[in-house]
């Protein structure tokens, strides 16, 4: 009997990061469902506008569409499971499904940084090498960059998933509401050295290196813009500012995930819940707002969609 219980415990994990769930579960459910609908409508709405409008079939807008699609996929990986847990009597998940959610979570997070790197490169070529832009940013190049941005993080995570599947669990309660870096705390520490070292390698290649590339690229754009005419400075401000806002927002929120897993800082359960919800709420929710308001061409099409021209009588 004890052996059967051990096998059951090793198969299922419990989410222990919820706060007053039984008391506020319907409130949590309504709020998170509303946010999820807004995220899907905002991201997929602008994605569809970019796809439909031929005037937006340029590399810059194609990369924005890819980023918004990435945000929608990221949210879909999190919210349906979270909404089910809010209404369930027990917040449990199988180990295999938890590993899958964690894999998609970090794969799409890595894709976010790579897409932002690609967008920074696109802006660099457009502003610093305008005469060569059409030659460099061909359709084939754009497609290769998009495929690389989505496949590279996923491929890097495959060895990590294989290693984690063979690790023994010493605890079965996640101090979280989603399957994220909290998983690393469940493994028996005697067998996680290679796993944690590989995690640092992934962090360096999918987060730190892209961030350094983005900062270097935008510093070059900034220098060129200062030395150029007012028109170039305005173009740089209009097209680069939204990307920098998204990068700053996403980097700040992702840093929490790293702090929890790598620095072993012990936050209260309420603080953990708030920070986790910020990661899955703010960035996917504000991405379409930032690009919808700050990108002039997208904003123009949104106004045409929602503000109908007045019909004057004769």
Whether residue 7 lies inside any domain: the answer is no
Q: Please give the tally of structural domains in the chain.
A: 1
- Looking up residue 113, the CATH number of its domain turns out to be 1.20.1070.10
Residue 63 falls within a domain, yes or no? yes
Put the strands of the sheet holding 12-15 in their side by side order: 92-94, 12-15, 173-174
Q: Is 223 inside any structural domain?
A: yes
Is position 192 within any domain? yes
Q: Taking phi first (over 0 means left), then psi (-120 to 50 degrees means alpha), and beta for anything else, what does residue 313 get?
A: beta
Q: What is the CB neighbour count within 10 angstroms for residue 78?
A: 26
Structure tokens given for 100: 């899958």
For residues 112 and 67, the answer to whether their CB atoms sit within 8 Å is yes
- The mean pLDDT value for 252-261 works out to 67
- What would the two tokens of residue 218 be? 């935008």
Residue 261 has pLDDT above 60, yes or no: no
pLDDT tens column, 190-225: 667 787 788 888 888 888 888 889 888 888 888 887
In degrees and rounded to multiples of 5, residue 170 shows phi and psi of -105, -10
Print the domain residue range for 251: 19-298
Residue 3: pLDDT above 70? no
Cα 37 to Cα 55: distance, rounded to the nearest angstrom: 28
> Is 5 part of a structural domain of the chain?
no
Contacts for 278 with CB less than 8 Å, ≥ 6 apart? 253, 256
pLDDT one-digit tens code per residue, 50-85: 898 888 888 988 999 999 999 999 999 999 999 999
Confidence of residue 115 (pLDDT cuts 50, 70, 90): very high
**Beta bridge partners of residue 13, listed in sequence order:** 93
Supply the pLDDT for residue 273. Answer: 80
Instruction: Find out whether 188 and 167 touch, Cβ atoms under 8 Å.
Output: yes
Question: Does 225 reside within a domain?
Answer: yes
* Whole-Å CA distances, 91 to 14, 21, 80, 105, 183: 6, 10, 13, 19, 15
85 within some domain = yes
Contact predicate 67/247, CB 8 Å: no
pTM: 0.86
> Given this model, what pLDDT does residue 5 score?
46
In a domain, 303, yes or no: no
Q: Is 92 helix (H, G, I), strand (E, B) or coil?
A: strand
The pLDDT of residue 254 is above 80: no
Looking at residue 266, its pLDDT comes to 65
Token digits of residue 297: 């061409």
Which of the 8 DSSP states describes residue 186? T
């Amino acid at each position: 009997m004890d052996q059967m219980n051990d096998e059951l415990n090793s198969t299922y994990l419990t989410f222990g990061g919820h706060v007053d769930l039984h008391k506020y579960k319907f409130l949590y459910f309504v709020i998170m469902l509303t946010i999820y609908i807004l995220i899907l409508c905002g991201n997929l709405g602008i994605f569809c506008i970019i796809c439909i409008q031929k005037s937006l079939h340029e590399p810059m807008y194609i990369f924005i569409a890819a980023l918004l699609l990435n945000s929608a996929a990221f949210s879909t990986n999190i919210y349906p499971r979270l909404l089910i847990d809010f209404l369930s009597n027990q917040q449990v998940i199988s180990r295999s499904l938890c590993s899958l959610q964690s894999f998609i979570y970090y794969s799409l997070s890595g894709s976010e940084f790579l897409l932002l790197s690609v967008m920074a490169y696109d802006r660099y070529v457009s502003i610093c090498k305008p005469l060569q832009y059409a030659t460099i940013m061909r359709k084939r190049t754009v497609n290769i960059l998009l495929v690389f941005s989505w496949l590279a993080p996923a491929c890097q995570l495959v060895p990590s998933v294989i290693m984690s599947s063979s690790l023994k669990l010493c605890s079965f309660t996640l101090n979280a509401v989603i399957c994220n870096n909290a998983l690393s705390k469940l493994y028996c520490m005697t067998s996680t050295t290679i796993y944690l070292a590989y995690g640092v390698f992934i962090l360096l290649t999918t987060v730190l290196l892209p961030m350094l590339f983005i900062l270097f690229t935008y510093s070059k754009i900034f220098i060129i813009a200062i030395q150029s005419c007012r028109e170039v400075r305005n173009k740089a401000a209009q097209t680069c500012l939204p990307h920098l806002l998204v990068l700053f927002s996403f980097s700040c929120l992702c840093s929490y995930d790293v702090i929890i897993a790598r620095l072993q800082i012990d936050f209260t359960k309420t603080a953990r819940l708030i920070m986790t919800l910020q990661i899955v709420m703010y960035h996917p929710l504000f991405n379409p707002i930032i690009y919808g308001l700050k990108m002039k061409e997208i904003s123009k099409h949104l106004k045409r969609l929602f503000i109908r021209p007045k019909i004057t009588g004769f």
